[in-house]
Amino acid sequence: QGESNINLSVEQYPNLFSLREAVDAVVTEYGVAWLRGRSVRERAMGLIDIAHPENRIGLVDEAKEARILYADQVYLESAGKLYPADIITQHVFANNVHIRFRPIKPSDEDEMRRLFYRFSDQAVYYRYFTPLKTMPHSRMQEYVNIDYQNTMSVVGLVGPQGEGHIVAEGRYVKHSDSAWADLAFLVDEEYQGLGVATYLFQLLMRVAKDRCLLGLTADVLVGNKAMLRVFEKGSSKAEVHMEGGVYTVHIPFEDNPACSIEEGED
């Protein structure tokens, strides 16, 4: 009837939010929200992620008014309609490590922050090129709220459904003036050396090609030899140049006939 089946219900059903054991999961045609052991805010974001896309902004506004979400909570209206579920996959790595991969969601904010705080100072420096000590809500929420068009991000999770945690993330951000995109990765140090970054690299290359990008670029600090090997191993077309202590990597793509057809139709 055009009305959301997910509503703000703190007053009517307070135990659903305050008792962590009350509800394990909620399922809709838009996905599954795993709620067990989550904070009230995490539960709210998880439920909003699986509401009808037309209703999500309204639910965010209601939750902000009720002080369940931060007053400055960001939520892109178009993201729910563009979520690329076709990218969801899984892979078994060395030592029988199973990792599930899916596009990032706004509700991943806290998990991504936990991943950040598990990194050593060196790992943070290699990723962000600066010695960050904290990752505040204001910065991380901008990071997890993407449009899936100009920015694409895929996270890797381990553990059982509903109790898994993020151990890897790869993303590209399209250049504003060309059909190329910058690429970057994060892999939990406990899971490095298994081929996770290489897998993410090749997955994002396929996604970028399907979306008619011409290639990917990346900057790698001269001391980060492991990441440089990822690019050299993951693509035979990787071109590497070094200047000022930073390797610049270019990975050009072959022409995609489907993209040529689309351009011709315009």
pLDDT of amino acid 127: 87
pLDDT of amino acid 164: 84
**How far is CA 23 from each of CA 37, 128, 203, 218, 254, rounded to the nearest angstrom?**
9, 38, 34, 43, 49
The answer to whether residue 77 scores a pLDDT higher than 90 is no
pLDDT of amino acid 146: 95
What average pLDDT does range 112-122 have in this prediction?
92
pLDDT band for 89, please (50, 70, 90 cuts). very high
Tens digit of each residue's pLDDT (9 = 90 or more) over 153-165? 999 999 988 778 9
Q: What is the pTM of this model?
A: 0.84
pLDDT band for 17, please (50, 70, 90 cuts). very low
Higher pLDDT, 10 or 101: 101
What average pLDDT does range 56-77 have in this prediction?
91
CA quadruple 59, 20, 166, 65: dihedral, nearest 10: 20
pLDDT of amino acid 260: 67
Give the percent of the chain with pLDDT over 90. Answer: 55
The answer to whether residue 175 scores a pLDDT higher than 60 is yes
pLDDT band for 198, please (50, 70, 90 cuts). very high
pLDDT band for 22, please (50, 70, 90 cuts). low
pLDDT band for 4, please (50, 70, 90 cuts). low
Most confident of 43-47, 52-56, 125-129, 153-157: 153-157
Cα 227 from Cα 204, distance rounded (Å): 15
